[in-house]
A and B are shown apart, each in its own frame.
Chain A
């Protein structure tokens, strides 16, 4: 009887630990995708600012925006296979996806504007998306 109790306790503990580690791994994936998105948005904001100040060329700025658009789209895609097994994780992933999606939209708009008109009106859209990404990132880091 005692052995059975030990075995059941051990199994339960292993399951709990496994569950916790899966959740932690999923949160790590969210944080990684958000950090990549932050880096892409911040690079783009910097590139646009330098271009507006005539410190950089159009070709170099277009290349930065193109590279960073690729990076943030990859970060968004990386969230698709993340396993969801709790409502908390579901809501975290939704928040992360929402923020990254806003970043993707803002970055693609800026890139297209530069390619078509040779200027970017303002980086305000990107800065706002960056703020959203940073907000979710801060909450996730704080919750760990």
Chain B
């Protein structure tokens, strides 16, 4: 009974923790401009993150070592430092976007400018990381984040023409009045939003934090293979709500506040309150994960003591790094830069940097010295190699598309 409850909790947490500011914004932008014609990218992205997280979790559980320790060992310090630089910068950008997302969500409750909430949000993130146990932190954020199921409820309440939505989803490349290059730019952005590298740093380091062993592999697999696809379904619901309410009125989403309009239309104030609570939890949870990931990547690379399982005094550099990253995030946001712009750029750069972390994990997951009998099977390897190609294409195409389209304008 305890095992079943643990499994259910893990899956629910994975669903609630799947969405972050990148998913919320990118799916709403895409839904309002392209309908569900980019829904296929969410499916491709979700399968990709399942493959990636499943391999990273298995490597961590079997070897007891997290992503960046292995990257440094496999690539050597010189090549790995490039990898570290790129991953750290993108993680920092994502952290900034998540803290901005928390502040924007609180603005929706209070109507006080988000800029005033940014320092409070960052301090709250630090306090939780400092004082709250890892499992409690992860489970509470994930479970409250489940309020985002309200987007699926909203889509049903809107009573859309399902056949029309289905047609949009299956017709593939359809740009309407938008340019083809803009369509592909958002395809890469959606892919990057679904496969953000910090999720994998956090997942694999979290496995070490929680002391996973080979015995926990089944639960890890269930969390990923059930939780993430259901989280992906919520991404589609966000795009669907925007497609039903905003697209016909030619409203292109540029702000988080617009994402709430279809929800209020469908379910009124109660559903709106649920969703705003879900957005606060999802962005706050992701801010915790990205802040921890910032500490994990650097500390693992340099071999410093890391982890929440150690008291802060015994992992001082790890904790100091996280504080510095939060201060950098606050500083960036207080310049007045739009958090939504930071989000859109961070998801595109996530796609750019993805091969840097995916390839080493793929190599280690195939190494019998590390993995013993738990190396990748043939089918998984086939899928993982196909994804390596997709990731490379998205990574190469991202920056040219960003320039050609003026960041999707």
Which A residues have a C-beta under 8 Å from some C-beta of B?
Answer: 32, 35-36, 38-39, 42-43, 46-47, 50, 54-60, 62-64, 66-68, 71
In the complex, chain A residues whose CB is within 8 Å of the CB of B110? 59
Question: Do residues A59 and B108 form an inter-chain contact, with CB atoms below 8 A?
Answer: yes
In the complex, chain B residues whose CB is within 8 Å of the CB of A60? 108, 111, 257, 260, 264, 272, 276
Q: How far is A56 from B273 in the complex, measured between Cα atoms in Å?
A: 9
Residue from the list A35, A55, A67 in contact with B257, Cβ < 8 A: A67
Which 4 A-B pairs have CB atoms at the shortest separation, nearest pair first? A59-B111, A67-B255, A56-B264, A62-B111
Question: Do residues B264 and A55 form an inter-chain contact, with CB atoms below 8 A?
Answer: yes
Q: In whole Å, how far is A28's beta carbon from the nearest beta carbon of chain B? A: 10
In the complex, chain B residues whose CB is within 8 Å of the CB of A42? 249-251
7 cross-chain CB contacts under 8 A: A32-B409, A38-B250, A46-B261, A54-B269, A56-B261, A60-B108, A64-B260
In the complex, chain A residues whose CB is within 8 Å of the CB of B269? 54-57
Interface centre among B109, B254, B257, B409 (most CB of A within 10 A): B257
Question: Do residues B272 and A56 form an inter-chain contact, with CB atoms below 8 A?
Answer: yes
Beyond A43-B251, A50-B264, is A63–B107 a contact (Cβ under 8 Å)?
A: yes
In the complex, chain A residues whose CB is within 8 Å of the CB of B250? 35, 38-39, 42
Q: How far is A56 from B269 in the complex, measured between Cα atoms in Å?
A: 5
Question: Do residues A50 and B254 form an inter-chain contact, with CB atoms below 8 A?
Answer: no
Question: Do residues A55 and B268 form an inter-chain contact, with CB atoms below 8 A?
Answer: yes
Beyond A55-B265, A55-B269, A56-B264, is A39–B111 a contact (Cβ under 8 Å)?
A: no
Q: How far is A57 from B109 in the complex, measured between Cα atoms in Å?
A: 8
Q: In whole Å, how far is B379's beta carbon from the nearest beta carbon of chain A? A: 46
Question: Is B258's beta carbon under 8 Å from chain A?
Answer: yes
Closest to A114 in B: B111
Q: How far is A50 from B268 in the complex, measured between Cα atoms in Å?
A: 8
In the complex, which residues 252-295 of chain B have their Cβ closer than 8 Å to any Cβ of chain A? Answer: 252, 254-255, 257-258, 260-261, 264-265, 268-269, 272-273, 276
Question: Do residues B264 and A63 form an inter-chain contact, with CB atoms below 8 A?
Answer: no
Residue from the list B245, B251, B272, B276 in contact with A39, Cβ < 8 A: B251
Q: In whole Å, how far is A117's beta carbon from the nearest beta carbon of chain B? A: 14
Q: How far is A42 from B260 in the complex, measured between Cα atoms in Å?
A: 14
Question: Do residues A63 and B261 form an inter-chain contact, with CB atoms below 8 A?
Answer: no
Interface of A is mostly: helix
In the complex, chain B residues whose CB is within 8 Å of the CB of A64? 255, 257-258, 260-261
In the complex, chain A residues whose CB is within 8 Å of the CB of B258? 43, 64, 67
Residue from the list A46, A57, A67 in contact with B272, Cβ < 8 A: A57
Q: How far is A54 from B261 in the complex, measured between Cα atoms in Å?
A: 13
Interface centre among A39, A59, A60, A64 (most CB of B within 10 A): A60
Closest to A65 in B: B257
In the complex, chain A residues whose CB is within 8 Å of the CB of B260? 56, 60, 64
Beyond A32-B409, A43-B251, is A63–B257 a contact (Cβ under 8 Å)?
A: yes
In the complex, chain B residues whose CB is within 8 Å of the CB of A71? 254-255
In the complex, chain A residues whose CB is within 8 Å of the CB of B252? 35-36, 39
Excluding A36-B252, A60-B111, 9 further A-B contacts by CB distance (< 8 Å) are A39-B250, A46-B265, A55-B265, A57-B269, A64-B260, A67-B254, A67-B255, A67-B258, A71-B255
In the complex, chain A residues whose CB is within 8 Å of the CB of B109? 59
In the complex, which residues 78-128 of chain B have their Cβ closer than 8 Å to any Cβ of chain A? Answer: 107-111
Closest to A59 in B: B111
In the complex, chain A residues whose CB is within 8 Å of the CB of B255? 64, 67-68, 71
Closest to B114 in A: A63
Q: In whole Å, how far is A137's beta carbon from the nearest beta carbon of chain B? A: 9
In the complex, chain B residues whose CB is within 8 Å of the CB of A38? 250
Q: How far is A55 from B258 in the complex, measured between Cα atoms in Å?
A: 14
Q: How far is A66 from B257 in the complex, measured between Cα atoms in Å?
A: 10
Question: Do residues B111 and A63 form an inter-chain contact, with CB atoms below 8 A?
Answer: yes
